[in-house]
Amino acid sequence: MIEDTNTDFFGLFDDNYFPNMYDVILTDVSSKDLHEEISDLLKAKYLTYSPAGEFKEVYGIIYGKHNRIFVSLPVKVKREAKNVHFLVDTGSPSTYICEEVYKSFKATIWNTSSPHSVLINNKATQVFLPPVNSHFTDVNVLGMDYLNTYRTKLIIDLENHYISLSFFGSLEQTDYQSYSLQYILGSVGRANCFL
**pLDDT for the residue numbered 195:** 57
Question: Among candidates 104, 98, 84, 96, which has minimal Cα distance to 42?
Answer: 84
59 vs 164: CA distance, rounded Å: 5
Q: DSSP letter at 21?
A: G
SS3 state of residue 35: helix
Is residue 93 within 8 Å of 145, Cβ to Cβ?
yes
Is residue 124 within 8 Å of 185, Cβ to Cβ?
yes
Domain boundaries, the chain: 20-185
Chunked mean pLDDT (size 10), the chain, 195 residues: 46 60 89 98 97 92 95 95 97 96 92 90 96 93 96 94 83 42 41 52
**pLDDT for the residue numbered 15:** 54
**pLDDT for the residue numbered 91:** 93
Is residue 150 within 8 Å of 171, Cβ to Cβ?
yes
CATH code of 20-185, in short, is 2.40.70
